[in-house]
Amino acid sequence: MYNRPIYLDCHATTPVDERVLAVMLPYFTEYFGNPSSSGHIYGWEAEAGVKQARDTLAKAINASLEEIVFTSGATEANNLAIKGIAEAYFSKGRHIITLQTEHSAVLDPCNYLRGVGFEITILPVQPDGLIDLDIFQQALRPETILVSVMAANNEIGVLQPLAEIGAICRAAGVLFHTDAAQAIGKIPLDVEEMKIDLLSMTAHKIYGAKGIGALYVRRRNPRVQLSAQLHGGGHERSRRSGTLYPPQIVGFAKAVEIALAQMETETKRLTTLRQNLWQQLSKLEGIYLNGHPTQRLPGNLNISVEGVDGAALLLGLQPIVAVSSGSACSSATIAPSHVLTALGHSETLAYASVRFGIGRFNTACEIELVAQHVTATISSLRRQKTRV
């Protein structure tokens, strides 16, 4: 029988948890109504499921249910936040601040806005991937309307100091958006404590389905204005039109509920697995850790490997472990990722890199096997190279 490789690419996506699937299924066939149909029970049933899910998601970040806008995922939530704020506040100012290591779903909307007359400051990060709060503070201007800094990085797992950033933004009267696609359900998030005004989330990174996400939009202190990007039936208080998707929505809430209930034990378990993997791999010469050693997602390990070709390394790993690469030296077709480039060390640019995303369904046994295989593959590629 053909065995599929061990899945260690949980920053790209995750499988749907069986418990999530179980709550979704009745909403496809039995409670199939349109939540907007207010004239009969089919609509009420669907609306009841959506309302409960909205409440669960809001409570997960210490918000209230009117502040949750459902979207197709974090890409759409980021676009709605950034373009929606730009359109609503352009008469106040046209300056936005973000980070070099943001996901393209933040950087690309910002670049789009630059093309239509906004000024975008893209801040560098420190060599460990963290924001430099002094440089950040100096970048704020009277005409700054929005700061967008992610909660957890999708490549190097680095956790930004949200409460510090939020406090600086609030004091300056600037709105604070965070892309929490990788963070929700994995680290504690509190929009009050962290003074977050807009927060993007998605289900498929936490064992929910693809195609569903949400944007939190603060309603008081301050009340955030947002220009809709999808116009139509006026759903979601006219902030995002389009028929709601109850199966995905109830599943999303269940996924968050499970993640929160398991957060403490999973953090411990995944941290141990990641540390074991790193302990084994760092026995080799010329292996470097990318990103802050401890202020990172428990399941994230991102390494640069000296003296091997990135494409050859991935090819060697493929049959045993499914991972993703951030860069590849000497492979003309693959450029180093913008995140690794932003860290600014020469080794992350010149060397091959691998991102391991360890998740809920990985076992200690699998990690041991992966450690052995990665070690053997790197050693073998290096031997071949010296022979040439």
Give the C-alpha separation, 336 to 213, whole Å: 29
Question: Binding marks (x or -) toward ligand PLP, 152..191, rule CB under 6 A?
Answer: --x------------------------x-xx---------
Nearer to ligand PLP, 150 or 224 (CB): 150
Nearer to ligand PLP, 75 or 302 (CB): 75
Question: Binding marks (x or -) toward ligand PLP, 117..156, rule CB under 6 A?
Answer: ---------------------------------x---x--
Closest CA to 348 of 155, 150, 130: 155
Q: By CB under 6 A, which span of 37-45, 67-75, 296-304, 335-343 interacts with ligand PLP? A: 67-75
Residue 329 falls in the annotated catalytic set: yes
Tell me the Ramachandran region of residue 134: left when phi exceeds 0, alpha when psi lies from -120 to 50, beta otherwise.
Answer: alpha
Nearer to ligand PLP, 83 or 103 (CB): 103
Give the DSSP per-residue string, 99-137. Answer: ETTS-HHHHHHHHHHHHTT-EEEEE-B-TTS-B-HHHHH
Decide: residue 70, CB within 10 A, 0-12 exposed, 13-18 middle, 19+ buried.
buried
Q: How far is the CB of 341 from ligand PLP (least distance, A)?
A: 17
Structure tokens at 91: 């008469």
Total residues contacting ligand PLP (rule CB under 6 A)? 13
Question: Binding marks (x or -) toward ligand PLP, 188..217, rule CB under 6 A?
Answer: --------------x--x-------x----
Q: By CB under 6 A, which span of 70-78, 249-257, 313-321, 372-380 interacts with ligand PLP? A: 70-78
Return the beta strands (E) in the chain as ranges. Answer: 6-7, 68-71, 95-99, 119-123, 144-148, 175-179, 198-202, 213-217, 287-289, 300-305, 321-322, 324-327, 352-357
Nearer to ligand PLP, 54 or 103 (CB): 103
| Residue from 14, 56, 75, 148 binding ligand PLP (CB under 6 A) | 75
Q: How far is the CB of 348 from ligand PLP (least distance, A)?
A: 19
Helices (H) and strands (E) in the chain, counts: 13, 13
Give the C-alpha separation, 170 to 68, whole Å: 21
Q: Fill in the DSSP letter of residue 185.
A: T
Residues of the shown chain interacting with ligand PLP in the complex, contacts defined by CB under 6 A: 73-75, 103, 105, 150, 154, 179, 181-182, 202, 205, 213
